[in-house]
A and B are shown apart, each in its own frame.
Chain A
Amino acid sequence: MPESPEIHSQKPQCFQDILLRLQEYWAGQGCAVLQPYDMEVGAGTFHPATTLRALGTKAWAAAYVQPSRRPTDGRYGENPNRLQHYYQYQVIIKPSPPDLQELYLGSLRAIGIDDTLHDIRFVEDDWESPTLGAWGLGWEVWCDGMEVSQFTYFQQVGGHDCHPVSGELTYGLERLAMYVLGVAHVMDMPFNRPDARIPLSYGDVFRQTEQEYSRHNFHGADTEKLFEDFRKAEAECARLLGMEPADPALGGRTNIMAHPAYDQCIKASHIFNLLEARGVISVTERQAYIGRVRALAKLCADAFVQTEAGGAAA
């Protein structure tokens, strides 16, 4: 990997500085800097660049920012650090390099965290996603007692053992930026440079959407339609994967629709989150719904490892 970029002499001044520096840093470490996935997801892990690419034998290195939605966390923009829409920064490298911890610490330096003044700690935190049928071991990384990242070595995804193992880093960007910038309420955080011609705060950009979506998530969304959408997504996922692998348009070559099917799995997962926010899923049903999404994730994983990107012989 190339030399890490020079540490910026100036501290970051706004939310997007942090984001840009992470982009620059991980690009410098040789990651493909991808763009957010164009669907509603609960976390950066759902991006196929992580979920699917963690499977199979092919080497992989990607970094991207992912807008993430957690409908139940909506607080109408009033809570200082809880949002129903927020950004995660995600890095995934397969196989996990032996110096991943050092690389990660380098990224903290890049965004202005001076580790000679701060107390950085790796505290046990095992990660599990019941909806993705995935788990891994790792830590939450603490900076002066605050969790700033999740650091995970993927062991299983979609029920498949990961071989080789991917190293995954997830930064909660708002929280991290608030810490670095010394801001108490997320809505007060400068989004662009405070000396820009039109300075914008995080609140200028997102307060109204937080209000609108909070209402939508808790009261507005049509649950009948959501239940129907869930069933449709579930059926479509299975239908796509049930189709004949041989594609007549490619002269009969195998062409499995793992990614389109996985889109339906993502959709089902987000609909489930919305239904939960609407309070229409009971405790017992909850487990059943999670199981249904997991079954889709597993089907997609099974399909992906049959594809070229999934490491199957071309």
Chain B
Amino acid sequence: MADLLIELFSEEIPARMQAGACEALKKRMTDGLVEAGLTYASAQAFATPRRLALAVEALSDHSPTTREERRGPKLGAPEKAVEGFLRSTGLALEDLEVRDDKKGQVYMAVLTHAGRPAADIVAEVLEDVIRHFPWPKSMRWGAGSLRWVRPLHSILCILSDESGAQVVPLEVDGIVSGDVTRGHRFMAPEPFSVANYEDYAAKLKRAHVILDPEERAQHIWNDARQMAFAQGLDLVEDKGLLAEVAGLVEWPVVLLGRIDDAFLGLPPEVLQTSMKEHQKFFSLRDPESGQITGFVTVANRETRDNGATILAGNQKVLAARLSDAKFFWDNDLRVVSHVGLEGMGAGLADVTFHNKLGSQADRVERIAALAREIAPLVGAEPALAEQAARVVKADLRSEMVGEFPELQGLMGSYYARAAGLPDDVARACVEHYQPLGPSDAVPSAPVSVAVALADKIDTLTGFWAIDEKPTGSKDPFALRRAALGVIRLVLGNGESIKLEDVLFSSDNTITLQLEENATIGSPVSLRKAYASAFGIPDHELRSIENEQVTKRMHAAGFSRVQDWLLSLIQEGLENPDNEVRRSLRRVADLLAFFHDRLKVHLRDQGIRHDVIDACLAMPGNDDLTLLVKRAEALSTFLKTEDGENLLQGFKRANNILTQAEAKDGVEYSFGPDPKLAETPEETALFTALDAAEATIAPAMAKEDFAQAMAAMAALRAPIDAFFDAVQINTDNQILRRNRLNLLHRIRATCLQVADLTRVEG
């Protein structure tokens, strides 16, 4: 047993790549060693800006010895064949064994392959790992052809045990392995040799290098917090920044500075973003005022003036940066005060959203129309929702967002307030982008909800219209996230929305606009459909204004538009490729996409896919809130004993009925006659069904699924008793028919709640 230590020493490795490189080094090395027959107890990888290291504990000394038996020619086979066999095995005739075989006696060679020493295997695997390392981006340097993330300078590779350390000899493009490394670039540049991992880590620390990135991060965090505390300030937590900064230094030294008063009027987010993006500074907040008043920077060395020069330099750079930010802020506010927020967004016509989906201004038009339609469905004032939609993208033209794209939305809300716009509008500027991630909060202000839905739905219908849907792992326009956003907005606010209608309206708006821009499809088909629906003569077709189409559609309302389209189809526009049908297909496809995302979302909340399927099969499945309420109730119900047994009873009834219907070629859907009931159990079932139906129908009307299912649960005992006592397929045809019709009642009653045939088990 020996311990293996590897260090790959290079010029500065990008911070963002270090963690991935650690993982890759550990996995590829250990996989390679194990594949070659070695075993080990544990392995740990580390990265600093200048090195990747791997420590493997208790590596076996050899790969195991293996025994191989190879069948040779038969006894008495031609001499040539025997000679060939001896040559191929490297044995002499007397080394061969003779064994009995079904076909007689044969020569058998028993070969022993000695295990290979660990050093050979390590050298081989390491060279392979270096040559094929999965850097996100790699490069060549000098006159060589080796690729690494930045020039690779040395390879340390030793195996060590109680008796000492041995260099594993290897050479990669002229770099010869050794036991030597270096400390901090400036504080301890001299080379030194190491004997094992403990020695290595300890000597590095003496040479001002903390090997473990976790330890560096911890050190930075602790020091920063303590220093902030001493100044009465709160350190703003930022895990991503902490990991990045820990990847930029080998010897972290935390320094704390103050922001010049001249900049304290800037929004805190601007201060934070500017400091973080450009300078990798942490922000310090004054707990009293909530303002960002200071920063923490992390240097990579100690100095004899205790960092005074470094801090002064950083402070100067920050002042220059914040002067820029202040310049942008002042300019933006000036623009807003002159031309308003909508005026600021005037240039959106020059900003391409997607080359097939027009400019941001086109998009704003569409979102405004859609937000207005959605508004009443979510309790928002339509005019306010439209007003908000017209300005929420305006800050994309601000200088501040030009400099800091991540402040989009937020700056809009500052500028909206500065322009004196209603608070709901200002809030929508930032909230309409939400929720961004699966754990991001969902806005609840009605105007924000309306615009957020319109924004996301327009994105989805847009990319559906140009056939750019996500496939497999490819989702370049984050459409899955947009769909999940819609789902969470609807469910989180308990909104009851006929999603299909909204999608349809959005699809129509977008198709009309695309036609106008003549980017897809035939330019006249939808207009034609429109013209015929509203009785406009064909020859006036060309002169219909886009606006007119949209207005008339608004005036007609969703259902009217849908009726009109349906009637068009019935009227014989049966060409499978007319614009209307394509539109319907797209909407159906998009709705299915929503359902898929919803399934994933609900599965994460513990609702089974078959339960969701049972609910999806019910009408009104585009009302996601209703759908989820149903699924939740069904899921809860099926977890009860009554639920589970009722499901069995239902399935039994359904199976018998389905078989009988198939055999007899009829549907047993006539009402059964209680007078033909023979046994008390049969009568009891009639009574129970009457009672259940009397409860279920009104409960369903109220969308009270729990009550409906409770009523269904009451059927469980009578159904079980009925099956125990009564034979369905009796010889008396009248009784048999009546009983089958009774089973049909069971089925019909249960299917009102959900399609139980789709539930497994």
The complex places the Cα of A165 from the Cα of B140 at a distance, in Å, of 7
Q: Are B309 and A118 in contact (CB under 8 A)?
A: yes
Are A153 and B352 CB-contacts (below 8 A) given A117-B303, A117-B304? no
A-contact bits for B300-335, CB 8 A (1 contact / 0 none): 110111000110111011101001000000000000
Q: Are B310 and A144 in contact (CB under 8 A)?
A: yes
Does B186 sit within 8 A of A, measured CB to CB? yes
**How many angstroms from the CA of A205 to the CA of B372 in the assembled complex?**
60
Q: Indicate with 1 or 0, residue by residue over A121-159, a CB within 8 angstroms of chain B CB atoms.
A: 111101000000000111100011110000001010000
Interface flags for B135-167 (1: CB within 8 Å of A; 0: not) read 001111111100001110100000000000000
Task: Please pick, from B138, B149, B186, B309, the residue contacting A144 in the complex, using a CB distance under 8 A.
Answer: B309
**Which chain B residue lies CB-closest to A152?**
B139
Pick the residue among A81, A121, A136, A167 that contacts B300 (CB under 8 A): A121
Choice from B303, B320, B350 contacting A80 with Cβ under 8 Å? B320
A80-B138 Cα distance, complex, nearest whole Å: 37
Among residues of A, the one whose C-beta sits closest to the C-beta of B311 is A144
Contact with B along A104-129 (1 / 0, CB 8 A): 00000000000111111111101000
CB distance from B25 to the nearest CB of A (A): 19
Query: In this complex, what residue of A is CB-closest to B14?
Result: A124
A114 (CB) vs chain B CBs: closest residue: B309
Q: Which of B186, B304, B318 sits near A145, CB closer than 8 Å?
A: B318
Secondary structure at chain B's binding surface: helix, strand, loop or mixed?
loop
Assuming A116-B186, A124-B15, A153-B151, is B310 touching A98 (CB within 8 A)?
no
- Contact residue among B143, B151, B313 (Cβ-Cβ distance under 8 Å from A146): B313
Mask for B1-37, Cβ within 8 A of A = 1, else 0? 0000000000110111000000000000000000000
> Of A95, A116, A124, A153, which is in contact with the most chain B CB atoms at under 10 Å from its CB?
A124
Known: A122-B11, A145-B317. A116 touches B140 (CB 8 A): no
A179 to B149: give the CA distance in the assembly, Å. 31
Indicate if the CB atoms of A164 and B143 lie closer than 8 Å: yes
Complex alpha-carbon distance, A117 and B140, angstroms: 33
A249 interface hit (Cβ, 8 Å): no
Does B297 sit within 8 A of A, measured CB to CB?
Answer: yes
Asked if B687 is at the interface of the complex by the 8 Å CB criterion, the answer is no
Q: Which residues of chain B are near A164, meaning CB under 8 Å?
A: 142-144
Closest to B297 in A: A145
Q: Residues of A contacting B14 with CB < 8 Å?
A: 124
In the complex, chain B residues whose CB is within 8 Å of the CB of A126: 137
CB distance A137 to B300 under 8 Å? no
Q: Are B139 and A179 in contact (CB under 8 A)?
A: no
**Chain B residue at smallest Cβ distance from A123:** B248
A179 near B320 (CB under 8 angstroms)?
no
Q: For B141, B143, B303, B317, which residue has the most chain A Cβ atoms within 10 angstroms?
A: B141
Q: How far is B279's CA from A260's CA once the two chains are assembled, in angstroms?
A: 43
Determine the residue in chain B with the shortest Cβ distance to A126. B137
- B383 interface contact, C-beta 8 A: no
* Residue numbers in B under 8 Å from A122 (CB-CB): 11-12, 49
Task: Tell me, yes or no, whether A9 is within 8 Å of chain B by CB.
Answer: no
**Interchain CA distance A80-B299 in the complex, whole Å:** 26
Provide the residues of chain A in CB contact with B186, threshold 8 Å.
Answer: 115-116, 120
A208 CB-CB contact with B under 8 Å: no
Q: Which residues of chain B are within 8 angstroms of A137 by Cβ–Cβ distance?
A: 137-139, 149-150
Collect the chain A residues with CB atoms within 8 Å of residue B16's CB. Answer: 124
Q: Which residue of A119, A121, A165, A179 contacts B142 across the interface (Cβ within 8 Å)?
A: A165
- Determine if A145 and B313 form an interchain contact, defined as CB atoms under 8 angstroms apart: yes
- Interface check B351, CB cutoff 8 A: yes
**Measured between alpha carbons, how far is A193 from B483 in the docked complex, in Å?**
65
Q: List 6 A-B contacts (CB under 8 A).
A: A118-B310, A119-B300, A137-B138, A137-B149, A146-B313, A284-B352
Residues of chain B touching chain A, judged by Cβ–Cβ distance below 8 Å, are: 11-12, 14-16, 49, 137-144, 149-151, 153, 186, 248-249, 279, 297, 299-301, 303-305, 309-310, 312-314, 316-318, 320, 323, 350-352
- 8 shortest A-B CB distances, which residue pairs? A144-B313, A124-B14, A122-B12, A164-B143, A145-B314, A95-B143, A119-B299, A137-B139
